[in-house]
A and B are shown apart, each in its own frame.
Chain A
């Protein structure tokens, strides 16, 4: 009972820690969508919005958002930013603005020296958001300002941190049965794919689409997300983008560093399945190995043995793997080739063709032993021997049906 209680407590702590960390690590809106701003002014939303209460001594103006942002409800694009200017402030603070001394300007403009003589203040830099957005339609639909900008009434200056995150947009769209297709809000190219390159950054999947986040090892391991939801990938990428890397001829330094020709065998010995996403072992690997003198093809009886790539302690060239003198063909040897073929046949297939194996393992020769592993009888009657017998027939005599 006690153990069960401890387990529950542990689970609660884990979940709450995770949730807290998720909130803690949330780092504001994406700069690709909401470019960085410069707002060098003093302003207090909290005071202007707060309702005064003489009974409790609470001070404020109790203004509605539209008192200052009076045109927001008419805005049809994200480029329209109804930032109140002098004329808007003037209605209440006219004495600060009209023919005011510098010290009055410095009440709002951070960069002005109240004791100085220059009245030239830096302007606000608020680049338009890189999305399709119309305040008008949202206001018309009855969306409250604080539904999206929920922290603004409690803040001094509102910044890009007060724009809504995509989580909030989608939650509301789902609730009101508005489309949540990417192109509903994101800018699109004529082809219909999303615009991803902006001066302020590159648009990439965020935590909302955590399965497709392009961080960590995503560049090398995106097969599963691409297979799981290819429609999502196609929002931004065309098949040409896939072929930029996967066509097997380009050589990207992110995957193949400068000395990859001399070091790629390490990946091969690990049998890295990623190789096959761009390369065919019997075409790409084999041909290059043959052309560079590392490998030979044909059957085992008619090809020269190339001793290359490795040298021993005396500087003498030795084979790319242990040769027959080292026990490569001796089943009792720890160097027996069968062990390696059973674990990493792709490494073999990068240098040898099928004939090379058939020379000895063909059923008529009898010299190569049975390569089928323990209990070869298990293979009798299997699907492959019944419906794809060509592989079997390369070694087994078609006239002899005992192997089927």
Chain B
């Protein structure tokens, strides 16, 4: 079974997307009244230096060269049979490795192949709007599901029904079903996968089934509510034998091959009080499998005009993992976070903002959380439960130039730095544009001070020293033609971890 960093990034290509490609032809409306095709390609070259084994006696500076190219193809047609969009997003992402491998002895040279070489199909779908005029839309193919739950990548079909509309109010229903996109499928992309399990989950092409839906209701021109549910079942090919060597191998060979990996419900509620430009909102997700509240947040926004923006929010959060990840059973306590922010345009060109964030890590005061286990009695969490700090910024912006600065800091109470550490970040920036904004240049300076200690004094002699880094960055951008634009950025780090390393970032975008 391939594992992280062991050369498992080989190009992944499977045939399933080809099935979706054929849908372009099948669903193309005959006798379309209007049609258009758009192509967008973005290529990024990102070179940076990484210091391996930093701060040790045998550090090594490695160059990392990364290239990724995306190709977005969008086509649409309007015809008697409804409006059809066909959308493709393809990404090729490669680097040439750090020359460092997970099995490499410390200090040794290397390398097995450890570079990335991924061809990802982010999505490929056909949107057929107005299958039933004004009432029903259909989307088929690889698509991203976005609702009150997390991102979800699906090879399947989604039906969207607009059941009722009146002015700004309405009732919308979506249902979908299909095959979940997994990391071992070719053309998959990891940001939209459930986290917490091995790189290759061994479930194969048809390793699961997913279905779900959501309902969104808007009434009274300002009150909205939505509810979403999703379930994913998996059928796995691998066994548990290699994971737990200490149990009955015969039983492990057939255990746990099917099961639920997700069963979640999420919802949101919002009320916009338009006369005073206030919005109140709440959102939450609940894991029905683990019977845990995963996230809950509530907040208010006041935006009486473009000059003033005020927001406050409370969040309770605990990590989300796939249902078959053991990490679910270790993270017991959620954290609570509150923040307030104000942005004020003092004059036409001068804007200031300020904010404050406080975070509370639960469980600390509860003492020996695993005291029922023999030998664990007496363990008391002695770290800081609170982390908090301010942020502020100011920017002066004219049509052709702007400059400003930002500041952010955080600290922990009680002199312990276990959660969030102590840090202060300053940045100064300036930019200008010319030739009617088609070309521009910008520069940034960052100064960051961090102290990544665990328990001050507890591990005597091992208190991490405060560390300050400086970064200078210069960049330029250009819109060369209506179809061609680019960016170039150069940065140099003066830092004990990266120690004088360089970074080059270039981007070229072509639109047709």
Contacts and interface: CB of A to CB of B under 8 A. Distances in A.
Contact of A344 (B244, B321, B331): B331
Contacts of B481: none
Nearest to A387: B260
A230 B145 CA distance: 11
A263 B450 contact: yes
B109 interface: no
Interface stretch (B14-22, B205-213, B284-292): B284-292
A91 interface: no
Interface string B63-78: 0000010101010100
B240 A217 contact: no
B379 A383 contact: no
Interface string A155-182: 0000000000001001000100100100
A320 to B, nearest CB: 9
A32 to B, nearest CB: 11
B506 interface: no
Interface stretch (A51-59, A79-87, A146-154, A270-278): A270-278
Contacts of B70: 243, 247
A250 to B, nearest CB: 7
Contacts of B369: 338-339, 342, 373-374
Given A21-B304, A263-B448, A335 B459 contact: yes
Nearest to A279: B191
A394 B240 contact: yes
A284 B9 CA distance: 12
A207 B279 CA distance: 10
Q: Determine the interface band of chain B, counting residues with CB < 8 A from chain A.
A: 35 or more
A304 interface: yes
Contact of B387 (A167, A270, A273, A327): A270
Contact of B463 (A243, A286, A312): A312
Interface in A230-276: 230-231, 238-240, 242-243, 246-251, 253, 257-259, 261-263, 265-266, 269-271, 273, 276
A96 interface: no
Contacts of A283: 4, 183, 190, 193, 195, 199
B332 A313 contact: no
B190 A284 contact: yes
Contacts of B319: 271, 273, 276, 345-346, 349
B444 interface: yes
Given A394-B244, A398-B240, A343 B419 contact: yes
Given A27-B305, A228-B283, A393-B255, A307 B323 contact: no
Contact of A311 (B373, B379, B464): B464
B383 interface: yes
A310 B452 contact: yes
A228 B243 CA distance: 40
A210 B277 contact: yes
Contacts of B418: 269, 340
Contact of A27 (B72, B85, B307): B307
Contacts of B497: 261-262, 309
A358 B56 contact: no
B56 A354 contact: no
B248 to A, nearest CB: 4
Given A215-B343, A217-B311, A342-B363, A19 B275 contact: yes
Interface string A205-235: 0111111010111000100111111110000
B3 A297 contact: yes
A281 B333 CA distance: 19
B268 interface: yes
A71 B236 CA distance: 73
Contacts of A19: 275-276
Contacts of B53: 293, 306, 308
Given A216-B343, A308-B53, A373 B195 contact: no
A353 B317 contact: no
A326 B453 CA distance: 13
Nearest to A334: B382
A293 B107 CA distance: 10
B281 A211 contact: yes
Contacts of A251: 46, 505
Interface in A342-378: 342-346, 348-349, 353-355, 357-358, 361-365, 369-376
A292 B60 CA distance: 10
A116 interface: no
Contacts of A210: 272, 274, 277-279, 301-303
A167 B277 CA distance: 11
B359 A270 contact: yes
Interface string A84-110: 000000000000000000000000000
A139 interface: no
A290 interface: yes
A389 B465 CA distance: 44
A387 B330 contact: no
B102 A375 contact: no
Given A293-B52, A308-B54, A213 B309 contact: yes
A303 to B, nearest CB: 8
B195 to A, nearest CB: 5
B269 to A, nearest CB: 8
Contacts of A369: 370, 373, 375-376
A317 interface: yes
Contact of B291 (A192, A370, A382): A382
Given A228-B283, A258-B473, A248 B270 contact: no
A185 to B, nearest CB: 14
Contact of B498 (A217, A261, A326): A261
B114 interface: yes
Contacts of A331: 370, 373, 375-376, 378-379
A341 interface: yes
A10 interface: no
Contacts of B462: 310, 312-313, 318, 322, 326
A384 interface: yes
A388 interface: yes
A321 B458 CA distance: 12
Nearest to B376: A331
Nearest to B507: A250
A205 B446 CA distance: 31
A373 B452 contact: no
B326 A389 contact: no
Interface string B35-60: 01010100010101010111111000
A391 interface: yes
A206 B196 CA distance: 40
A18 interface: yes
B74 A191 contact: yes
B410 A334 contact: no
B454 A240 contact: no
Residue picked from B246, B281, B464, most chain A C-beta under 10 Å:
B246
B495 A262 contact: yes
A370 B198 CA distance: 22
A296 B102 contact: yes
Given A239-B123, A270-B359, A282-B198, 6 more contacts: A207-B305, A216-B301, A270-B387, A334-B380, A372-B332, A390-B236
20 contacts: A21-B308, A190-B76, A226-B146, A227-B283, A239-B123, A240-B40, A263-B423, A265-B421, A276-B150, A283-B183, A283-B199, A291-B101, A313-B461, A332-B376, A341-B331, A371-B329, A383-B290, A388-B260, A391-B324, A400-B247
Interface of A: 15, 18-19, 21-27, 30, 167, 170, 174, 177, 180, 190-192, 206-211, 213, 215-217, 221, 224-231, 238-240, 242-243, 246-251, 253, 257-259, 261-263, 265-266, 269-271, 273, 276-284, 286-287, 290-293, 296-298, 304, 306-314, 317-318, 321-322, 326-327, 331-336, 338-346, 348-349, 353-355, 357-358, 361-365, 369-376, 379, 382-384, 387-391, 393-400
Q: Which 4 A-B pairs have the closest CB atoms?
A: A364-B246, A258-B471, A390-B256, A398-B255
